[in-house]
Amino acid sequence: MARLHTQLVGTGRPQFAFLHGLFGRGRNWSGIAGALAEQGHASVLFDLPNHGSSAWTQDFSYPGMADAVAAEIEERLGSAARLTLVGHSLGGKVAMLLALRRPELVDRLVVIDIAPALSEAVDGFPALVTALTAVDLSRIHSRREVDAALAERIPDLGTRQFLMQNLRTRPSWHWQPNLGLLGASLPEIADWPDPGPVSYPGPVLWLRGEHSDYVRPEHEAAMRRYFPAVELRTIGDAGHWVHADAPDEVIAALLAFVA
């Protein structure tokens, strides 16, 4: 697999690595990484395969993504990187799988609003893919026009703004993620690949949004089976995009976790 696009925030050897969610990109974490850098903690932000500036693939595979991130970590930091790995949603499943497959690379794990289980809440994403692909970009002249076209199917402004981060104008207007593959792979994205009888012994912080349906009580048994040292915390008044809804709380939680 081709190397992944990464961005370093801060100076020195990274302590944190961030993996974004579906239709996201590494820069979604720039604000939180910047706050961590002010406290002396450098971070590396990943664009996962088929997202952002990273290469597209022929198929969707959680193990393949986990292995690609592990290879990038080893290339940059060596085989004893010992990072605090932070993953949200899709990126949280990649992070969990990476910790289970390559525990020597992960000093601590932070899983944000996702569980090692079937994510039924992903059912809303086909409508987003339909909305993006329905925009005739050959007739577009401004971002305002794209926003207006999306508003017919996506009334929530915050969701539109999040998705429009993926809009590029050169060489012509286009969506940067691999919408065809991701849209066709939503059942696999919602699923959780069975990693076998393995567990990760290191500390794990599991953050969920108070108003999110992605983490439910029935998920806790599987989470504790894979991650015996897990601590579950609920971030009040936050939805699935916990880091966008409550950035200060997430920053404080990360700093306390590595203190």
DSSP 34-48: HHHHHTT--EEEE--
In contact, 216 and 115? CB cutoff 8 Å: yes
Work out the mean pLDDT of the chain and round it to a whole number. 95
- Whether residue 144 is predicted with pLDDT greater than 70 in this model: the reply is yes
Residue spans of the domains in the chain: they are 6-119+191-258, 123-184
CATH domain 6-119+191-258 topology: Rossmann fold (3.40.50)
Query: Residues 235-245: what's their mean pLDDT?
Result: 94
Q: What is the rounded average pLDDT of the residues 203-209?
A: 98
Lowest mean pLDDT among 16-20, 60-64, 124-128, 173-177: 124-128
**What is the rounded distance in angstroms from the CA atom of residue 109 to the CA atom of residue 94?**
11
Residue 2 pLDDT > 70:
no
**Rounded percentage of the chain residues whose pLDDT exceeds 70:** 99
pLDDT at 224: 97
Is the CB of residue 250 less than 8 Å from the CB of residue 32? yes
- DSSP SS3 for 143: helix
Q: What is the DSSP string of 42-101?
A: -EEEE--TTSTTSPP-SS--HHHHHHHHHHHHHHHH-TT--EEEEEETHHHHHHHHHHHH
pLDDT at 23: 95
Confidence bin at 1 (pLDDT 50/70/90): low
Average pLDDT over residues 51-75: 96
> Alpha-carbon distance 27 to 154, whole Å?
23
Q: Supply the DSSP symbol for 212.
A: -
Task: Note whether 161 and 108 are within 8 A (CB).
Answer: no
In 3D space, the residue among 255, 249, 158, 248 whose CA is nearest the CA of residue 207 turns out to be 249
Question: Per residue in 94-125, pLDDT tens?
Answer: 999 999 999 999 999 999 999 999 998 788 88
What pLDDT, on a 0 to 100 scale, did the predictor assign at position 187? 94
Average pLDDT over residues 171-195: 95
CA–CA distance, 15 with 44 (Å, rounded to integer): 8
CA–CA distance, 12 with 171 (Å, rounded to integer): 35
The four Cα atoms 12, 246, 65, 178 give a dihedral, to 10 degrees, of -110
Determine how β-strand 230-235 pairs with β-strand 43-46: unpaired
Question: The pTM is what?
Answer: 0.95
Q: Which two tokens stand for residue 202?
A: 């290191």
Cβ pair 109, 99 in contact under 8 A: yes
Predicted pLDDT at 78 = 81
Which tens digit of pLDDT belongs to each residue from 35-50? 999 999 999 999 999 9
Please, which pLDDT band fits residue 235 given cuts at 50, 70 and 90?
very high
**Which amino acid belongs to residue 208?**
R
